[in-house]
């Protein structure tokens, strides 16, 4: 009997690099990460390899070089036309403690002329309120392709496009969250992609230590980016806490601390009622926490575009006061 050893799958090398024990395992180089993600995106990997790869990365914690390599592979496969955007605003976490006030910040900024691309990955975790669930209520257009994005940006300087409509392979990986039992690094990767090469990419990374990694990944990619630990994992300043800003521009990094905006912590609402967002936007309801969260998140975005902190806060107040309060 002739026994022929089957050839090793080309992707096996990347699983081995990550999983070869405490002494043998190592990080992927930037080029290895680019090649590995390219194979994942091109469907050249078995499902078992995909699961193993994502969970080994999750256990190890991804490096800035790996994130930059992954993002490079995605960008090589994007088929997005040149569309001018000021802010790339990812929304992948969902909110649990507070309403998504950042959406009102984005809407007010867009009305003032700032062109903003929002993108998200759907309701992948139970018990959270996701942007996609309130966009229609707030009159924020959901686009299904880049042509619709361009039209929405021309009309109202604001557009949302689901990840599944421009990079479905990544959406499939995100959707494995309930199969694998853990979020994978794809949740983090989606935040640094900046698919339309916006002037500044805003990022919120909740877990301590990851903010600096994300900033470094964006720096390696040559992007301008501003990273915070946002409320609930979204790009929203928590006015009850100190916010540390991790910035990078023109290959240089900078840091800034914003103190709490309230002398005492606000009581979180008993439930999240999306209609309260609309009422607050229209001036029909007052909410001290919401006002601070919206204004400071607007200021954060303007800071990312290069405006000094004090001017950013002044501009946020002026632009919020000048908003059009129809839907």
DSSP bridge partners of 243: 258
Q: How many CB atoms lie within 10 A of CB 180?
A: 14
pTM: 0.94
E strands, 55-199, are 87-91, 116-120, 158-162
Each residue's pLDDT tens digit, 225-277:
999 999 999 999 999 999 999 999 999 999 999 999 987 788 788 888 999 99
Quote the mean pLDDT of the chain: 94
Topology of domain 12-77, per CATH?
Answer: 1.20.970
Q: Report pLDDT for 263.
A: 79
Chain-centre distance for alpha carbon 320: 23
For 87-321, the fitting CATH number among 3.30.420.10, 1.10.287.470, 3.40.1030.10, 3.40.605.10 is 3.40.1030.10
> Domain map of the chain by residue range?
12-77, 87-321
Half-sphere exposure of 126 (CA within 13 A, CB side): 2
């Amino acid at each position: 009997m002739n026994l022929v050893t089957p050839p090793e799958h080309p992707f096996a090398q990347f699983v081995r690099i990550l999983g070869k024990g405490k002494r043998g395992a190592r990080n992927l180089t930037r080029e290895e990460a680019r090649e590995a993600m390219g194979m994942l995106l091109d469907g050249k990997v078995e499902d078992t390899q995909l699961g193993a790869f994502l969970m080994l990365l999750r256990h190890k914690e991804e490096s800035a070089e790996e994130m930059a390599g992954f993002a490079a592979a995605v960008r090589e496969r994007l088929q997005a036309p040149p569309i001018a955007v000021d802010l790339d605003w990812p929304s992948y976490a969902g909110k649990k403690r507070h309403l998504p006030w950042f959406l009102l910040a984005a809407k007010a900024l867009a009305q003032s002329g700032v062109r903003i691309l929002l993108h998200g990955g759907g309701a992948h975790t139970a018990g959270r309120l996701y942007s996609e669930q309130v966009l229609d209520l707030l009159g924020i257009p959901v686009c299904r392709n880049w042509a619709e994005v361009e039209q929405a940006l021309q009309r109202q300087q604001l557009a949302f496009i689901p990840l599944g409509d421009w990079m479905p392979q990544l959406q499939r990986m995100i959707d494995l969250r309930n199969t694998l039992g853990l979020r994978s690094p794809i949740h983090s990767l989606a935040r640094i992609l900046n698919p339309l090469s916006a002037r500044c990419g805003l990022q919120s990374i909740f877990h301590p230590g990851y903010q600096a990694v994300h900033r470094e990944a964006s720096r390696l990619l040559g992007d301008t980016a501003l990273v915070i630990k946002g409320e609930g994992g979204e790009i929203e300043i928590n006015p009850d806490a100190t916010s540390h800003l991790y910035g990078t521009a023109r290959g240089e990094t900078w840091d800034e601390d914003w103190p709490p905006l309230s002398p005492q912590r606000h009581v979180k609402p008993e439930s999240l009622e999306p209609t309260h967002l609309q009422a607050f936007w229209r001036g029909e309801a007052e909410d001290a926490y919401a006002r601070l969260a919206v204004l400071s998140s607007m200021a954060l975005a303007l800071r990312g575009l290069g405006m000094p902190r004090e001017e950013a806060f002044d501009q946020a107040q002026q632009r919020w006061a000048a908003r059009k309060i129809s839907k």
